[in-house]
Structure 1
């Protein structure tokens, strides 16, 4: 559910922060005041293309932000977790559009692409109106709605599961059979595995080999250096450490004759002398035992060069070559024993095809019955919404291809004829924005509670209607608001009176600048706004009484 919307420097809106609640929220205002800017803001936060002209004149950028409560939106929460953008049960969308035309987007404070923003927005908000960004125009979404209307979720899930199982089996069979390339693949595997088995080492042995290479590469320096250090410790030079230590001990022994408290220090120097002697002896042994073996060095150099070449060819790090060999060995064994495995897989795939056929047939029967019921339900609602004589049909067409399809054996298309005598056309090709919005409303009412989207926006859904039809539109929107959060931009008082909440958009000129204000109305404010919508320029006492009566009747219903 949309909890809050923030707009700054978008067209004539300088700054606005709006809180939203459940139910139907209506948005009204005079023509040109900027009522549809709220819809534009949500479209931009849904990944719609931005235009530099949307930035308020004289400003560097426009800023938009929205906060959604995800408590009842498991699909959106799952998407955020999958994309590692989750932040509890709250989702914050933000977008900045600069005056030179560039824009940036964030989800929960993390930068994202517009494609990611659009993908998430499809799970958060559904916008109906005079634009092209409607989920109902998507044939995939139409099929989902049909399945939901016919309560075919379990059957559709079984079809998807069997199709995926068939694809998994088929992929494994292709990998095993290899087609014409099987012999070539076997030869390549044997060659590559032979190389890896000859050269690849477990990580511990590889580390030991690299240490030996380093030691042999610097053997001369190690011999020279260890001998030099040994000479410094216990050599013939005047400043060898053991000679200096001996002189220090002799001097300390003389001083201890004057003060017995120095005696423990003599013992400490004796211990140091023992340790220096051991260190000198160890260095002598190290220098004597150090391997100076050019042949061994060349052998290790060759081995490491082969490992570097293999790592580059297989695109893995050298320590991973041993595991790569194990993987190739498993693939080779599988291919060499492919005959028996393929027979098993063919039988399994045949069983899967039978299970898919049964599940798809059941789903097709359910879809056929649901298509007829949905067509009748939406067609009846179209008559109530001012399109008397209009028709709505749900057609099912065979899906292309012979392989099991996760969506089933048919595709769905919503067809509509808004006026008598006109042939039905695809919903996505209906030209009139107002008619399209009302048809969308009819579909949403007919499938009430079946759509997973929590927030629905209707922009100018009442265009071209009035009187009793307008009141019916308002009642349908209010009924929809009982199940979903609904935001409706309207210019008709019959629709506005049905809202659970009311936002008023007004335009003012101050100091040569034009600004739009958005305010939430209380009961008195709603009565006055309805009176303005009913009476125009001059608002009489009778107009206010009519507005109060309309509001009371709508809210009582």
Structure 2
């Protein structure tokens, strides 16, 4: 239930705060005073798109805050808990809109995207505008109203699931068929490339080893020569008249330093370092000899290495990749080849999947048709009774459901829905748009809205001049229906009819004030004398007479 609405710097409103009551609240005022401003502000607060004139002229931003009692609204309470936005039994929604058109939204103090405001708003309020009855002439709206009354949401969700699944499968089939010729050309190329690389069978990291082996074998003679020279310099001397090898000199120095350390302990550390150097040089000399022995000059082996190394480079150039990436390239084109093979296999089975999906869709659609037919029989009787209560005593309402043969799933099922009416005895039922006048459409729309409101519990219902085009006894009937509805849910009604305004449990008066430079709207809750004067004004115009006041008191008393 809506408890409070605070409006600041919105349109021509400087500041207005309204406390709302349970039951039926009527909003009246002169034409152009801004009777619908509270409704517009509430719509924005619950996520509607802001227009250019949202912010009051001369102000930087508009601020709208709505407070609800959510304790008895189970769907809203569950939604708030799911999004971690629950706060006691109240739900406070706030929206700030800047003059540049940017907006911020908050639920219980937490910033939220606009989409979440819309989701929550649908659980809190249902707004019916003065032009909603025109939608009744559209088949899509007629189907929506029937489905809302039937409340078969699970069937509709299942229907949309299979319809969406069928479309995805069909799009996939179309794409596969369009690309079939291109895939065949690519298939032949990939088969050739994979076969060539399979035959070569290069392994992970093999090219790096081939490159190392190639360099080693191609430089074997120079490696032997250089290693021999190093061995001679380190540990051997071919000419005894020349200076001894490095190892011989280091051995002599190590022996002399050992003697020196015996005479002076301060030289012991130096002797130790030189001795360690001698040991390391001996090990290096030994390793160098082993390395020289490992150098193998084998022309036949080198030829095989050179051939494989060269072919690897040739293949890499052919496929425009680095030689080191050849194995990865081979793996990738294998995957592409398998994917094309899978696509061809997919073509073989996708038609079966489409047929099965369509069959499942039709099964759900037939269940939906049965549910709609059952609900239509109940709804047409209720609407007929409601129309007669709204001063259409001979009205008959029928709901025609026609099954269509479909070649592909539609998002609404197999049914075409049409509202039919007869307004006079003996007149056959015809399409709503052909028979009903504007006022009759308005009453039929109200009848449906009342029936839906009684069947689907909505905590707050707002009617924005839904009584347009009606007057006299009919207006009284409309007021009685809304008053009755106010006993089970909160009803807010913007009206210009005294017969409707007098039926409210609470009445608000909207006035436009101006000082010649600035204009603003003021909303006042009327007491009993105030209500009498306002009802009298609605009855008689600007000049309130004793007679119109008496009529107003009579309307309020009734």
Give the TM bin, normalised by the shorter chain: 0.5 to 0.7
Matched, 1:92 2:93: yes
Matched, 1:105 2:103: yes
* 1:146, distance to aligned residue in structure 2 (A): 0.9
The corresponding residue for 2:365 is: 360
Verify: 1:26 aligned to 2:26, yes or no: yes
Partner of 1:460: 465
Seen in structure 2, the aligned counterparts of structure 1 residues 494 and 542 have a Cα distance that, compared at 3 Å, is closer
Contact 2:130–2:468 (CA under 8 A) maintained in structure 1: no
Report if the CA contact (8 A) 1:129-1:437 is conserved. no
The answer to whether the aligner puts 1:377 opposite 2:382 as a matched pair is yes
Q: Is the 8 A contact 2:65 2:93 kept in 1?
A: yes
Q: 1:415 to 1:130 in 2, by over 3 A?
A: farther
- SS of equivalent residue, structure 1 residue 28: strand
Match of residue 266 from structure 2: none
Q: 1:395, 1:415 within 8 Å by CA — same for their partners in 2?
A: yes
Distance 1:328 1:354 in 2: 34
- 1:375 touches 1:394 (CA, 8 Å); kept in 2? yes
Residue 445 of structure 1 corresponds to 450
Q: Which has the larger radius of gyration?
A: 2
Q: Distance in 2 between matches of 1:512 and 1:111?
A: 38
Structure 1 residue 88 displacement after superposition: 3.9
TM-superposed CA distance for 1:507, in Å, is 3.6
Q: Which residue of 2 aligns with 1:212?
A: none
**Deviation by residue 1:48-74 (Cα, 9 ceiling, x = unmatched):** 57253x655555665544456667374
Cα pair distance change 1:501/1:86, threshold 3 Å: farther
Say whether the 8 Å CA contact 2:146–2:376 is kept in structure 1: yes
CA distance in 2, matches of 1:48, 1:416: 36
CA spacing shift, 1:78–1:94, aligned 2, 3 Å: same
Match of 2:413 among 390, 408, 414: 408
Unaligned runs of 5+ in 2: 198-203, 209-268, 274-279, 281-308
Verify: 1:501 aligned to 2:506, yes or no.
yes
Question: Compared with structure 1, are the counterparts of its residues 541 and 11 closer, same or farther at alpha carbon in structure 2 (3 Å cutoff)?
Answer: same
The answer for the alignment partner of 2:343 in structure 1 is 335
Q: Residues 136, 481 of structure 1: CA spacing in aligned structure 2 closer, same or farther, 3 A cutoff? A: farther
Instruction: Note the C-alpha offset of 1:552.
Output: 5.8
Shift of the 76–443 alpha-carbon distance from structure 1 to 2, 3 Å rule, reads farther
1:16 and 2:19 are equivalent in the alignment:
no
After superposition, the Cα gap between the structure-2 partners of 1:538 and 1:22, relative to the gap in structure 1 and judged at 3 Å, is closer
1 CA distance for matches of 2:394 and 2:431? 15
Which runs of structure 2 are paired with 1:215-294 in the superposition (5 Å)? Answer: none
CA contact (8 A) 1:128 1:134 kept: no
Counterpart contact for 1:76–1:120, Cα < 8 Å: no
Query: What corresponds to 1:491 in structure 2?
Result: 496
From 500, 520, 523, the counterpart of 2:525: 520
Change (3 A) 1:486 1:543: same
Residue 251 of structure 1 aligns with which residue?
A: none
Q: Return closer, same or farther for 1:419/1:106 CA change in 2, 3 Å cut-off.
A: farther
Residue 182 (structure 1) aligns with: 180
Kindly report which structure 2 residues correspond to 1:1-80, keeping only aligned pairs within 5 A, or say none. 1-44=1-44, 47=48, 50-52=51-53, 56=56, 59=59, 62-66=62-66, 72=73, 74=75
Answer yes or no: is the 8 Å Cα contact 1:50–1:97 preserved in 2: no
1:469 matched to 2:474? The reply is yes
Q: TM-score, normalised by structure 2?
A: 0.58
Q: How far did residue 442 of structure 1 move?
A: 0.8
Taking the aligned partners of 1:355 and 1:370, their CA distance within structure 2 comes to 23
C-alpha separation between the residues in 1 aligned to 2:531 and 2:351? 70
Q: Kindly indicate whether the alpha-carbon contact (under 8 Å) linking 2:4 and 2:68 is maintained by their aligned counterparts in 1.
A: yes
Residues in 1 aligned to 2:162 and 2:333: alpha-carbon distance in whole angstroms: 34
Please report how far the alpha carbon of residue 489 of structure 1 lies from its aligned counterpart in structure 2 after TM superposition. 0.9
1:308-350 deviation digits (Å, cap 9, x = unpaired):
xx9xxxxxxxx9x9999998687456336447x71xx655554
Question: Does the CA contact (< 8 Å) of 2:532 and 2:552 recur in 1?
Answer: no
* Residue 111 (structure 1) shift: 8.1
Farther off after superposition, 181-190 or 401-410: 181-190
Change (3 A) 1:437 1:49: farther
Aligned partner of residue 179 in structure 2, secondary structure: helix
Tell me the distance in 1 between the aligned counterparts of 2:4 and 2:435.
Answer: 33
- Aligned-partner Cα distance in 2 for 1:130–1:51: 22
> Does the CA-based 8 Å contact 1:76-1:123 persist in structure 2?
no
Partners of 2:65 and 2:14 in 1: CA distance: 14
Distance 1:470 1:163, change over 3 A: same
SS in 2 for 1:498: coil
Aligned residues between the structures: 436
Q: Are residues 25 and 186 of structure 1, via their aligned partners in 2, closer, same or farther at CA, if it must alter by over 3 Å?
A: farther
Would you say the 8 A contact 2:476–2:500 is kept in 1? yes
TM superposition score normalised by structure 1: 0.58
Question: Is the alpha carbon distance of 1:330 and 1:74 closer, same or farther for their aligned partners in structure 2, counting shifts above 3 Å?
Answer: farther
Partners of 2:33 and 2:485 in 1: how far apart?
27
SS at match of 1:14: strand
- CA distance in 2 between partners of 1:427 and 1:323 (Å): 67
State the 1:441 CA deviation: 1.2
3-state SS in 2 of match to 1:35: coil
Q: 1:155 to 1:190 in 2, by over 3 A?
A: same
Question: 2:466 is paired with a residue of what secondary structure?
Answer: coil
What residue ranges of structure 1 are gaps of 5+ in the alignment?
199-204, 210-269, 275-280, 282-294, 311-318
Q: Aligned partners of 1:110 and 1:361: how far apart in 2? A: 44
